[in-house]
C-alpha cells in the first residue's frame, strides 16, 4: 500500500496499467508484422508514386504529380478502369445472389448437406491456373461444350475469350464460379445463427409461406452477413488478376485488361515502378471509397441482433 501511495496510483489504476502493458506486449508481434508488411510498403508505394523510379536504374528523381497526370491521359488506364468496373458490376451481385440461393437450398435440405457444401466450395480451394485448361476448353469457339449447347438451339456461339465484345463476360462467368462457394459458406454461417424461435413466431403472426418467412425473418437477420459478403465480394472483384493473366493476357485489344494487370504490366514488364506505384495508389483509393460508400449506405439498413 505504501508503494501505491508513493506512486500516486490507486490499486484499480495500477491493475489497469498492468493489463494495458500486458495487452501491448501480447499484441506487439502482430503490430510489428503489420508495420513491416502493410504500413511501410504502403508508405513506400505512396512515395514512389511521386518519382520516376525504374527497376535497373540506380538513381531516380521526384516528379511530383507527373505520374498522376499521365494516368489521367492514359487510354490504357481508362480502359482497364472501365473493364474492372464492368467485371465488378457483374460478378458481385450475381455471386452474392447465387451464394445466398445455394445456402438456402442446402440449409433447407439436411440430407447430403456436407456433400453439397464440399462440392460448391471446391472452386474456392482449387487453383485457377490448374483450372485454366478446363475453362479454355469450355469456352473454345469450335469444340467447346458451351457453344455446342448453343448450336443445339440454332444460336451461333461466340469466341468467348477471343473476341473483344465477349471476353469480359466470359471472365465474369469464371469469377462468379469462383465466388459462389465462398459466399455460400458465409451465408450458411449467418443462417445457422438465426434463432429458430423467430420463424415460429413469424408463422404465428401470419407468415405462412417460405417467401414471407424469408422476407420478414431471414433477410433482416442476415443483414450483417450480407454487408460483410458484399464488402468481400467487391474487394475480390476489383482485384481480379489471375484469370486475366492466365487466360487472356489482357487481350484482345486490351478488352480484358483490368487494373491489377495494368499495374503488373507497368511495374514488372515495363519496369516503370514509379508510374505503377501511382496507379497502385489510385487503385487503393478506389477500394477505400467503395468501402466507405458501402458502409455509409448499407450499414443503415442492417439489423444487428
Higher pLDDT, 29 or 117: 29
Nearest to 163 by CA among 259, 77, 76, 256: 256
Instruction: Quote the pLDDT of residue 276.
Output: 95
Domain match, 162 and 262 both: yes
The pLDDT tens digits of the residues spanning 9-29 come to 566 767 788 888 888 899 999
Question: Which residues neighbour 264 within 8 Å (Cβ) at sequence distance 6 or greater?
Answer: 241, 245
Domain match, 44 and 128 both: no
Cα dihedral 17, 20, 26, 30 sign: negative
Please tell me whether residue 183 adopts helix, strand or coil conformation.
Answer: helix
136 within some domain: yes
Domain match, 72 and 28 both: no
Q: Contact 54/271 with Cβ under 8 angstroms?
A: yes
Q: How many domains, in total, are found in the chain? A: 2
Mean pLDDT of 44-60: 89
Q: Which residue has the cell 465462398?
A: 182
> Cα separation of 123 and 96, whole Å?
15
Domain match, 188 and 240 both: yes
- List helix spans (H) across 109-214: 113-125, 128-138, 145-152, 167-192, 196-204, 210-213
Mean pLDDT of 128-149: 88
55 within some domain: no
Average pLDDT value over all residues in the chain: 87
Domain match, 186 and 275 both: yes
Domain match, 109 and 181 both: yes
57 within some domain: no
Q: Contact 250/171 with Cβ under 8 angstroms?
A: no
Residue 303 has pLDDT above 90, yes or no: no
Q: Which residues of 143-172 are buried (b: 16+ CB within 10 A; e: fewer)?
A: ebebbeeeeeeeeebbbbbbeeebbbbbbb
Domain match, 25 and 106 both: no
- At residue 2 the predicted structure's pLDDT band, cuts being 50, 70 and 90, is very low
Residue 299 has pLDDT above 90, yes or no: no
Q: Contact 88/258 with Cβ under 8 angstroms?
A: no
- At residue 32 the predicted structure's pLDDT band, cuts being 50, 70 and 90, is very high
Higher pLDDT, 10 or 125: 125
CATH number of 266's domain: 1.10.3720.10
Residue 8 has pLDDT above 60, yes or no: no
Domain match, 233 and 280 both: yes
Domain match, 173 and 258 both: yes
Residue 119 has pLDDT above 50, yes or no: yes
60 within some domain: no
The pLDDT tens digits of the residues spanning 188-229 come to 999 988 888 888 888 887 777 888 888 888 888 998 899 899
Domain match, 178 and 293 both: yes
234 within some domain: yes
169 within some domain: yes
How many angstroms separate the first and last alpha carbons of the chain?
45
Residue 116 has pLDDT above 90, yes or no: no
Domain match, 90 and 230 both: yes
Q: Which domain holds residue 15?
A: 2-48
249 within some domain: yes
Domain match, 226 and 268 both: yes
Amino acid at each position: 500500500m505504501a508503494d501505491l501511495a508513493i506512486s500516486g496510483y490507486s490499486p484499480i489504476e495500477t491493475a489497469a496499467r498492468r493489463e494495458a502493458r500486458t495487452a501491448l506486449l501480447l499484441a506487439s508481434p502482430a503490430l510489428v508484422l503489420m508495420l513491416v508488411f502493410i504500413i511501410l510498403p504502403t508508405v513506400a508505394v505512396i512515395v514512389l508514386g511521386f518519382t520516376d523510379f525504374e527497376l535497373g536504374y540506380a538513381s531516380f528523381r521526384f516528379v511530383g504529380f507527373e505520374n498522376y497526370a499521365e494516368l489521367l491521359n492514359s487510354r490504357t488506364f481508362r480502359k482497364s478502369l472501365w473493364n474492372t468496373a464492368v467485371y465488378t458490376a457483374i460478378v458481385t451481385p450475381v455471386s452474392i445472389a447465387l451464394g445466398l440461393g445455394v445456402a438456402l437450398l442446402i440449409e433447407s435440405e439436411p440430407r447430403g448437406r456436407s456433400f453439397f457444401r464440399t462440392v460448391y466450395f471446391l472452386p474456392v480451394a482449387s487453383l485457377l491456373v490448374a483450372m485454366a485448361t478446363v475453362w479454355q476448353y469450355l469456352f473454345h469457339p469450335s469444340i467447346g461444350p458451351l457453344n455446342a449447347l448453343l448450336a443445339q438451339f440454332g444460336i451461333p456461339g461466340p469466341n468467348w475469350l477471343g473476341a473483344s465484345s465477349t471476353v469480359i463476360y466470359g471472365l465474369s462467368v469464371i469469377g462468379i464460379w469462383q465466388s459462389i462457394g465462398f459466399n455460400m459458406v458465409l451465408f450458411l454461417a449467418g443462417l445457422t445463427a438465426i434463432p429458430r424461435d423467430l420463424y415460429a413466431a413469424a408463422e404465428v403472426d401470419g407468415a405462412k409461406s417460405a417467401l414471407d418467412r424469408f422476407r420478414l425473418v431471414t433477410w433482416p437477420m442476415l443483414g450483417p452477413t450480407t454487408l460483410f459478403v458484399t464488402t468481400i465480394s467487391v474487394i475480390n472483384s476489383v482485384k481480379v488478376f489471375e484469370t486475366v493473366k492466365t487466360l487472356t493476357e489482357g487481350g484482345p485489344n486490351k478488352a480484358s485488361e483490368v487494373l491489377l494487370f495494368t499495374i503488373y504490366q507497368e511495374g514488372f514488364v515495363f519496369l516503370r515502378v514509379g508510374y505503377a506505384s501511382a496507379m497502385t495508389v489510385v487503385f487503393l483509393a478506389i477500394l477505400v471509397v467503395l468501402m466507405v460508400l458501402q458502409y455509409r449506405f448499407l450499414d443503415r439498413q442492417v439489423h444487428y441482433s
